[in-house]
Chain A
Amino acid sequence: MTVTPPGQDDGKTARKVVFNFFILYNARIFLKNEAKRVWIFSYRYMRKEWLIMQKITLTRLFVLLALVSLLSAGCAKKAAQDESQMTEGTQAVEETQMQDQQISAVEEQQVSDVVAGDTASGMQEAVLRVRDLSRIYFDFDQYVLTKTAQDTLYANAQVLKAAPEVKIVVEGHCDERGSDEYNLALGEKRAVATKNYLISLGVPAEQMGTISYGEEVPLDMGHSEEAWAKNRRAEFTLQR
């Protein structure tokens, strides 16, 4: 069985369908209530109007669908998060199993490699690769992972999975704007979101720790938009 790359597109549309169906189901109830109100106020017309109503219901459904899809794209932070956890959790389970098989395959290869080279330098190479893990960036006051972030994390996940003995710490950072306390919490949320995504990509949870530095450790000491954009990040350091 081949490991399919984690569904960036497939998962999304599937999620959308599920979500919209959820909304639709509730909307049906909402509409029915409205129908009840119409009935109470003009029950005399109900029979006559029922046919007309049925036609209107369909158009209302379409309008609602359009509105709802707009809303869900905009600000469903939590929903996205929960969903990602929900759906990717299930994926994770599948993939760890696959991973185990993979790891055993890799290990076999490593054994043959060990004969040729040195274990220590292999370890060092792994460490070096982990140290070079790329950072990911966030939008202002957001801890949602952008598409670019997710792509970077995919690459990082591969490196991490290839070196399971190297433990890392995911650091969450913010730009200097805003309250220090709030930024500490926001940084924490960014670190946790990153870690969860990596878990969903197959990285074992025990390999990663999280910490938030808020706005205390900026990369760029400037006070411009570019500097701030560079500081809103999650980065990876070796655990000591």
Chain B
Amino acid sequence: MIIFKRVLLLVLALLITVSSALAVKIEISAPGEQQIPLAITSFVPMGQIQPEIATEINAVLDADLSLSGLFSMVDRASYLSDAETLGLNSVQVDFTQWKLLGAEAVVKGGYRIEDGKLIIEARLFDVISRRMLTGRRYIGKPEEVRRIAHTFADQVMHSLTGEKGPFSSRIAYVSNRTGKKELYLMEVDGHAPIRLTNHRSIVLNPDFSPVGKELIFTSYKNRNPDLHRKEIYTGREARVSHRTGLNIGGRFSPNGREIAVTLSKDKNSELYLIGTDGTIHRRLTNHWGIDVDPSWSPAADKIAFVSDRRGNPHVYIVDVDSLEVNRLTFDGKYNATPAWSPDGERIAFSRLEDKRFDIYTINPDGTDERRLTFGPGNKEHPRWSPDSRFLVYSLDRDGEKSIYVMRADGTGNRRISAPGGDDSHPAWSGRW
């Protein structure tokens, strides 16, 4: 019996090895299709017809979801009858129609106004598996249409990637539309810009606080480049650091309790750590060269900055505890404006090459440097979105400065600041 079992095992083993030897091995190293065909239908009125609400929702979703890079848009003109029917769950949707058009995902929804409140039902359906991927009901004020649409776009990204999109956040920037450089705030698609300051001098380089809704920035209001702060909703302003010389490039630490800043009070631009009340906690650099432009790592253990200690401006990294300085960039003759991504994976910076600035990203250990932007104009001041998937930057072309966003791989460049002024120094807020 034992022998029989052993023989059986042996035969089985042989069979397995033989059969696996006969298996044909194939390697597929890229998907054949890299975008999901998405159909965004006009939201259907569930009560009073207000076409402007539907068009707003549509415009916002179209812009946000095409920026995400996940989708290719199905031509609206080819939509069949199901596009006009209200389908709020998978039973109510005729998936065969969408399959015919080649769509694999469909956004449908409806809206109504009730007692002065705007109620929006939004759904994302998967055509192949015939089910709803995500659905939300939003209740808000009629003027909050765009905000609701941005929130749903974030939700769509979450259902397909596991992480919410950044479309509900804000971008702060500097613009000279009033004749002087002042601080402004706008949405991620460039809408609803509002002016925050009235210094009538020069305002530069804002940064958002990770904890509260406030900004720090440099201003020449008191005839010296001082570091100011402003609370966005209360409007309160105060000076954080007004020492002699420069008080520039203020950047909040990831926990919001400290600020890295460049002070030149000792007759040389050095990096310091100061508290939110302005007291100096620590001096980070001690070199006769220029040390400016700090950017925190998300773990708050290192700071990337620009120094010309070796003759030309390059990006260096200083360890906050040990104060050890290591060089990050070696190529090029002028590397500046570093920005550490919130997930800690990449550092974006701008490099002067052939008399033009372009944006590059690099690993924090100095490997895998990639160029992101091409074409005419100077692209500087890259800043990351809170989900580390997008970048906002300042483009200076033909004397006009404007603000652009793009995906973290350099594709999808589009302008978000309105024409007619010089807009620069963008900063991307955290989750709003």
The answer to whether A and B assemble together is yes
Q: Give chain A's interface residues, CB within 8 Å of chain B.
A: 75, 78, 141, 177-182, 184-186, 188-189, 192, 210-213, 216-217, 221, 223, 240
**A178 CB → nearest B CB, Å:** 7
Q: Tell me if A216 and B202 are in contact (CB < 8 A).
A: yes
Give the residue of A177, A180, A189, A210 whose beta carbon is less than 8 angstroms from that of B290. A189
Q: Tell me if B311 and A181 are in contact (CB < 8 A).
A: no
12 pairs of residues in contact across A and B, judged by CB atoms under 8 Å: A178-B336, A179-B292, A179-B293, A179-B380, A181-B336, A182-B290, A182-B306, A185-B248, A185-B262, A185-B290, A188-B264, A188-B269
CA distance A59 to B424 in the complex (A): 58
CA distance A189 to B202 in the complex (A): 20
Give the residue of A181, A210, A217, A223 whose beta carbon is less than 8 angstroms from that of B306. A181
Number of interface residues of B (CB under 8 A): 37
When C-beta atoms are compared, the residue in chain B nearest to A212 turns out to be B246
Inter-chain pairs besides A182-B313, A186-B290, 14 sampled, C-beta below 8 Å: A177-B352, A179-B313, A179-B337, A180-B204, A180-B424, A181-B205, A181-B249, A181-B262, A181-B337, A184-B292, A185-B262, A185-B290, A185-B292, A189-B290
When C-beta atoms are compared, the residue in chain A nearest to B290 turns out to be A185
Q: Tell me if A185 and B246 are in contact (CB < 8 A).
A: yes
Q: Given the complex, which residues of A lie within 8 Å of B381, measured CB to CB?
A: 180
Q: Given the complex, which residues of A lie within 8 Å of B350, measured CB to CB?
A: 179
Q: Given the complex, which residues of A lie within 8 Å of B224, measured CB to CB?
A: 211
Q: Which of B264, B312, B380 has the most chain A CB atoms closer than 10 A to its own CB?
A: B264
CA distance A213 to B291 in the complex (A): 17
Give the residue of B245, B291, B308, B425 whose beta carbon is less than 8 angstroms from that of A180. B425
CA distance A168 to B5 in the complex (A): 103
B116 at the interface (CB under 8 A from A): no
Q: Tell me if A192 and B267 are in contact (CB < 8 A).
A: yes
Q: Given the complex, which residues of B lie within 8 Å of A177, measured CB to CB?
A: 352
CA distance A210 to B264 in the complex (A): 11
Q: Given the complex, which residues of B lie within 8 Å of A213, measured CB to CB?
A: 202, 220
B379-414 contacts to A, CB under 8 A, are 380-381, 399
**B70 CB → nearest A CB, Å:** 34
**B315 CB → nearest A CB, Å:** 11
**B332 CB → nearest A CB, Å:** 13
Q: Tell me if B181 and A182 are in contact (CB < 8 A).
A: no
Q: Tell me if A211 and B223 are in contact (CB < 8 A).
A: yes
B225 at the interface (CB under 8 A from A): yes
Q: Which of A210, A217, A221, A240 has the most chain B CB atoms closer than 10 A to its own CB?
A: A210
B220-253 contacts to A, CB under 8 A, are 220, 223-225, 245-246, 248-249
